[in-house]
Each structure stands twice: as C-alpha cells, then as structure tokens.
Amino acid sequence: MTNLLSPTTQRGEAHPATPTFAVISGAQVQKALSGREKQIVELVEATYRLHGAGQSVNPPSYFLRFPDRPADRIIALPASIGGSVNVDGLKWISSFPANVSAGLPRASAVLILNDHDTGYPFACLESSIISATRTAASAALAADWLSRTRPRPARIGFFGTGLIARYIHTFLTGTAWTFDTVGVYDVSADSAAGFRGYLEQSGAPGRVTVHDSAEELIRSSDLVVFATVAGEPHVTDPGWFAHNPLVLHVSLRDLAPEILLSSANIVDDIEHCLKADTSPHLAEQLTGNRDFLDGTLDDVMTGRLTPPPGRPVIFSPFGLGVLDLAVGKYVYDEVARAGHLRLIDDFFHDLRRYG
C-alpha cells in the first residue's frame, strides 16, 4: 500500500503493487467514531461544501422494492467525492421495518470504497453505524446553522425513538448542545420507555417527558426531530407549528405538504430530495412548482441564504452518498493508522493480462 489515499498503487509505477482489500467490522467502525462527534460534524460540513462547489458526483439513489413485501426496500447510493477524501464508492442499505419486532435493527448496510486512480474496491465496511453517524452529524450541523439567526432551542422533542434518534441526541450533546427539557413520543410505548431510559442514563441535562400525543410533543418543543419509519404523511395540522420551531425532518415523509407550504424549507440537495414521495416531493406535486423551497444547507453555510424569521424552519435531508463516503474513508484511515486493517489475502486473483 503506497499511502492511505491510494490503497492500490500510484499511477505511473512500473510494477504496480497487488491491490489490497480490507473488511472493517462494525466494532471497528464504532471504535473509530466513538467520542468524535465534533470531528465528524466538521467532516460532514466540509463534504457539504465540496458537494456545493461541484467537487462530487452523487447520482440518484436506486430503490430495490419488492411487490410481495411493500414495506421493505434496499437502496443503492453510488457516489464520488473529491478534495482530501478523494474516493469513490457505494452504500448498499436495507430497510426492513418488521425487524424491529424481532429484536433486530430496521436497517443494515455495507459500504464499498473504490480507489480513485484504479477503480479497485479496497474496503468493505459495516455501514449501519456509518449511515446513522452521517445522518446524525448532518442533523446536528443543520441545527447549529439554522439556529444562528434565531433563539437557540432549549426544548427538544423526539418524534420516533429508534437508533437514529439516539445517534442524533448523541451528536447534539457531543457538540455542546444542552436542553432544559427533552420530549419523547412514539407510537410504541415500549420504544418511548426504552428511549427515556437511554436519555436518563446518558447523563445529559434536561427533564425528560414522555408525551401522550404527537401534538403535545410538537407544541412543547423548540427543536423537533422526526426519526420515524413513516411511509406517508401522518402529521397534517400546520397549527401545531404556530410557535415556529426548528424541525429536523430526518425521516422525510412525516409532514403533510400543507405544513411545508407554511414553513421555510431547507434541503441538503434539491434534486435528490424531491423524489420518492418525500414530503417535499408531495408538496411539489401539489403545487406544480418548487417555489416553497428556500434553498440548501450549503446556501445557508455560505451566506447565500438566511432563513426567514417568523415561520417554522424545516430541514429535510435526503441523505447523500458522499457523506457515507467521507465518514467511511475517515474510518478506514483511522483503522489503517492503528495498524488494525484486516486484509483478505488473494481477494483479487488472476491479475496478469495474459495469464
């Protein structure tokens, strides 16, 4: 291996080294990322800026759906990112909601990293942790930037209490957020109770309240986090948002179009977010235009956009494959520096052109 950025070989060598291939487990991923919330949020911000500057390739995600299993899907997110990351790759992530009742996480994933110069894949990483991490880091980044021109939220509410909600809470507290109150609501009482237990054991400040209704949670929160598995809008009353909260609409399909049309709307990428029947996509179909969109998070970070006051502000991130690549490459580099890469001997075979 010539360097960490090019695990196969540098172009132009007379005798290229045999490409290597590593498998990085979930335990290794978690160890590389644990306690580094600030660094990962900074990495995600840098990646959004590269994407905004055109130094990425992020094609539409491909959804594999099943006629006999309409609730399930597997999504392919191919991408390429330049800058100091300089890597290509693919996230392959499944969502099987029935797993939860069987005691398994809803999502499972792998991430393949490809060498920029040769195209050879050089690592396969367990990626459910990477996916949750980049989602949470994106949410924490948006909460920071979108609250800079308004009072910083002191009351947070979590609508949906699974793994993503836990990661978002971890990233918020890991980047110096504190809250006076933490609200919890879930259609599953057991899930709400489990999340409350996590919050109380986390040691983070803030009085924890499990709410009996979605309306109660939303009306009592300045920062609302939607992290559900909803397939279509189930929150329909714009009046619940009359106090103009900041909304992290991470699960993308919770809000009726009418709520978006009475709010300021920020997305991570316009073309990606307005598809697959997300709430913004439904709003576009209802109105026949995209005038309800104010812009992207990159627009906010670069100063091209200031969210208007006196309205709810909704951040709807589709989730970009370039974020997975950036976090995955960070993990690969950390594991490599520690000397803990597990290389698969002879993964690539028959490399001589004429035998």
Domain boundaries, the chain: 22-130+321-337, 133-316
End-to-end Cα spacing for the chain: 23
Is the pLDDT assigned to residue 58 strictly greater than 90?
yes
Q: Which residues of 247-264 are buried (b: 16+ CB within 10 A; e: fewer)?
A: bbbbbbbbbbbebbeebb
Contact 109, 130 (CB under 8 A): yes
Confidence at residue 1, expressed as pLDDT on a 0 to 100 scale: 36
Compute how many other C-beta atoms are within 10 angstroms of the C-beta atom of residue 324: 28
Confidence at residue 34, expressed as pLDDT on a 0 to 100 scale: 96
Confidence at residue 16, expressed as pLDDT on a 0 to 100 scale: 60
Counted residue by residue, the chain has a size of: 355
Q: What is the DSSP letter of 101?
A: G
Contact 106, 100 (CB under 8 A): yes
Q: Distance between CA atoms of 102 and 279, rounded to whole angstroms?
A: 29
Q: How confident is the model at residue 2 (pLDDT cuts 50, 70, 90)?
A: very low
Q: Which CATH superfamily is domain 133-316 in?
A: NAD(P)-binding Rossmann-like Domain (3.40.50.720)
**Could you read off the pLDDT of 195-230 as tens digits, one per residue?**
999 999 999 999 999 999 999 999 999 999 999 989
Tell me the backbone φ, ψ of residue 135, rounded to 5 degrees.
-65, -45
Give the Å distances, CA to CA, from 258 to 28, 120, 229, 288, 315: 44, 47, 20, 14, 15
Burial class (CB in 10 A: 0-12, 13-18, 19+), 170: buried
Stretch 117-136: mean pLDDT, rounded? 97
Stretch 59-78: mean pLDDT, rounded? 94
Confidence at residue 240, expressed as pLDDT on a 0 to 100 scale: 98
In DSSP terms, which residues pair with 265 in a beta bridge?
293, 314
**Could you read off the pLDDT of 34-57 as tens digits, one per residue?**
999 999 999 999 999 999 999 999
The C-alpha angle 37, 27, 317, rounded to 5 degrees, equals: 45
> Which of 179, 199, 180 has its CA nearest to residue 191?
199
> Which of 118, 122, 127 has its CA nearest to residue 333?
122
Percent with pLDDT over 70 in the chain:
95
Is the pLDDT assigned to residue 8 strictly greater than 90?
no
Global confidence as pTM: 0.92
Handedness of CA 266, 267, 269, 273 (dihedral sign): negative
Confidence at residue 250, expressed as pLDDT on a 0 to 100 scale: 98
Q: Distance between CA atoms of 168 and 165, rounded to whole angstroms?
A: 5
Stretch 128-141: mean pLDDT, rounded? 97
> Which of 310, 300, 241, 251 has its CA nearest to residue 276?
251
Q: Distance between CA atoms of 123 and 22, rounded to whole angstroms?
A: 5
**Could you read off the pLDDT of 168-186 as tens digits, one per residue?**
999 999 999 999 999 999 9
CATH 3.30.420.270 for domain 22-130+321-337:
no
Confidence at residue 350, expressed as pLDDT on a 0 to 100 scale: 86
Confidence at residue 12, expressed as pLDDT on a 0 to 100 scale: 46
Q: What is the DSSP letter of 120?
A: -
**Pairing of the two strands 107-114 and 121-126:** antiparallel
**Could you read off the pLDDT of 80-123 as tens digits, one per residue?**
999 999 999 999 999 998 998 898 888 899 999 999 999 999 99
Q: How confident is the model at residue 354 (pLDDT cuts 50, 70, 90)?
A: confident
Confidence at residue 7, expressed as pLDDT on a 0 to 100 scale: 57
Q: Select the more confidently predicted residue: 6 or 145.
A: 145
Is the pLDDT assigned to residue 194 strictly greater than 90?
yes
Q: How confident is the model at residue 6 (pLDDT cuts 50, 70, 90)?
A: very low
> Which of 134, 205, 221, 198 has its CA nearest to residue 173?
205
Compute how many other C-beta atoms are within 10 angstroms of the C-beta atom of residue 200: 11
Q: Distance between CA atoms of 205 and 326, rounded to whole angstroms?
A: 31
Q: Select the more confidently predicted residue: 22 or 18.
A: 22
Give the Å distances, CA to CA, from 259 to 54, 106, 149, 201: 31, 27, 22, 35
